[in-house]
Amino acid sequence: MSLNIWHPFTQHGLREPIPEIARAEGAALYKADGTKIIDAISSWWVQTHGHCHPRIVKAIQDQSAKLDQMIFAGWTHAPARELAQGLADFLPKSLDHIFFSDSGSTAVEVALKMALGYWHNRGDARHKILVMEHSYHGDTIGAMSVGERGVFNQAYAPLLFDVGTIAFPGAGAEQATLDQLKAFCKDSDNLPGALIVEPLILGAGGMKIYSAAILAEMAAICRAHDVLFIADEVMTGWGRTGTVFACEQAGVKPDILCMAKGLTGGVIPLAVTAASDAIYQAHFSDDRAQMFFHSSSFTANPIACAAANANLAIWRDEPVRERIDGIIASHRAFSERLQRKSNISGLRQCGTILALEIDDGAGNYMSDLGPMLLGFFRNRNILLRPLGNTIYIMPPYCISAEELECIYTVIEEAIDHFGKP
Ligand SMILES: *Cc1c(COP(=O)(O)O)cnc(C)c1O
């Protein structure tokens, strides 16, 4: 007798197969019988350097034998201190305070609470949060509130808080977005406290890309109107877009930045919300009522911090940037190849992420194409999980040219198989 496992984002009623993985190494997962599956999406956007990187494995082993877990309220430990030191080399100097949590969703909740606390403690309570259409920031209630509303959260919609939504600044529609943002910022009856965005590329919303110039302009508008700018770099962080953080490409220094997925190399849960001194100072007081009221049991877990320190060491010591540049060049060459296909649209690339839509004549997230594609790739031993009819690749940086070529070939097959003739 065994309990039934309820999987995330899985409709068990469809009885789709749930393959079991026994081990992993580099860009590959292996079944017990030895079948190799290429991990084309970094195990849901988390793995950066590849599975079971020896340095991260060792850091976890060593730390777990030394100091496994301890309270972080009023106490501290070396792995957290070391991480605070290390992160200083990767973040803009203006983000000089870090707060730990356990996932991207909680990093976002922390960011929102910091922003609201900032305004509250300054005696200028502002409760309106601005968001971008099609955004995804996590699945907890607060994170869903600032994300796109739809079938994913309609059961909870009445409980989600109100936000101000600016349009996605797609090509040709940029000015409308900027004008909307300005209008919200000037609404003296209901001044916004913060804008939260996924910089350069909206992940779960369909790998939608917008320019660094627009990102910079949005940040500048916020700055000019004293609206806090929150960058959700949970997916974009740690190299995905070609730079360590996407904001770098726009020269944007956010007031608050969220990171999670790749922070530990994508091995073990850990999140950081980095904040400017102004945010911190708004909570700094001899009045207990003004402290930042947030914690979770595993805040700054030492094992997770040790894994993150190993991730930073890999960035420092290994040719991570060269690997990323290699993937970027390889994707470009593949895009050239795809120009010949007539039944795709929206071919786009942001750093190591390549995305396209297959034209099957129907096409939306709930269309049948998504599950059919999933099965198609699964049967060909590629871990690739399309978002509706959007196929995307987001590989770990250690992936080989041969493995990439395998993925590309199967994608071409899928286009020929499912695209309308
Ligand atoms: C994945 C993701 C989150 C949520 O992170 P979890 O660790 O899954 O809670 C938040 N924001 C963005 C942009 C994400 O891609």
pLDDT band at 54 (very low <50, low <70, confident <90, very high): very high
Ligand 1 atom nearest to CA at 105: 9
Architecture of the domain spanning 57-317: 3-Layer(aba) Sandwich (3.40)
Per DSSP, the chain holds a count of helices (H) and strands (E) of 12, 16
CA of residue 354 relative to chain centroid, distance: 15
Q: What is the pLDDT of residue 359?
A: 87
> What's 217's DSSP letter?
H
Give the pTM: 0.97
Whole-number pLDDT of residue 363:
52
pLDDT for residue 215 is more than 90? yes
* CA 233 to ligand 1: nearest atom: 13
Question: Rounded to an integer, what distance in angstroms lies between the CA atom of residue 120 and that of residue 252?
Answer: 25
- Each domain of the chain, given as residue ranges in start order, spans 12-52+320-418, 57-317
Q: What's the CA-to-centroid distance between 181 and ligand 1, angstroms?
A: 24
- The class that CATH gives domain 12-52+320-418 is alpha beta
Share of the chain above pLDDT 70, in %: 99
Query: Among 310, 134, 107, 280, which Cα is nearest to 208's?
Result: 134
E strand or H helix at 241: none
| 324 C-alpha to ligand 1 centroid (Å) | 21
321, exposed or middle or buried, with CB in 10 Å at 0-12, 13-18, 19+? middle
Determine the pLDDT at residue 255.
98
Q: Whose CA is nearest to atom 15 of ligand 1?
A: 235
128-132 and 164-166 strand pairing: parallel
Greatest Cα pair distance, the chain, in angstroms, is 70
**Ligand 1 atom nearest to 269, measured from its CA:** 7
Model pLDDT for residues 150-194, shown as the tens digit of each residue: 988 999 999 999 999 999 999 999 999 999 999 999 999 999 999
Output the pLDDT for position 55: 98
SS3 content of the chain, % helix, strand, coil (to 5): 40, 15, 45
**Residue 45's Cα: distance from chain center in Å?**
7
Average pLDDT over residues 39-58: 98
To test the pocket of ligand 1, the residue of 209, 235, 263, 350 to mutate (highest count of ligand atoms within 8 Å of its CB) is 235
Structure tokens that stand for 289 in this block:
């009522």
Could you count the other beta carbons within 10 Å of the beta carbon of residue 7? 10
Protein residues whose CB sits closer than 6 Å to any atom of ligand 1:
103-105, 108, 136-138, 198, 203-204, 232, 234-235, 260
Tokens of 256: 């608050």
* DSSP per-residue string spanning 300-345: T-HHHHHHHHHHHHHHHHS-HHHHHHHHHHHHHHHHHHHTT-SSEE
- pLDDT value at 16 more than 80: yes
The string of pLDDT tens digits covering residues 284-329 is 999 999 999 999 999 999 999 999 999 999 999 999 999 999 999 9
Q: What does the pLDDT read at residue 421? A: 77
**Predicted confidence band of residue 39 (pLDDT cuts 50, 70, 90):** very high
The string of pLDDT tens digits covering residues 248-284 is 999 999 999 999 999 999 999 999 999 999 999 999 9
Identify the band that residue 362 occupies on the pLDDT scale cut at 50, 70 and 90: low
Considering only CA atoms, which residue is closest to atom 6 of ligand 1? 104
Nearest atom, ligand 1, residue 271 CA: 7
Residues 6+ apart with CB under 8 A from 323: 397, 398
Contacts 24+ apart (CB under 8 A), 82-88: 82/305, 82/309, 83/305, 83/308, 83/309, 83/312, 86/308, 86/309, 86/312, 87/272, 87/274, 87/312
The domains spanning 12-52+320-418 and 57-317 adopt the same CATH topology: no
The alpha carbon of 234 and the centre of ligand 1 are apart by a number of angstroms equal to 5
Task: Specify the ligand 1 atom closest to the Cα of 235.
Answer: 15
Q: How far is the CA of 45 from the centre of ligand 1 (A)?
A: 9
CA 382 to chain centre: 21
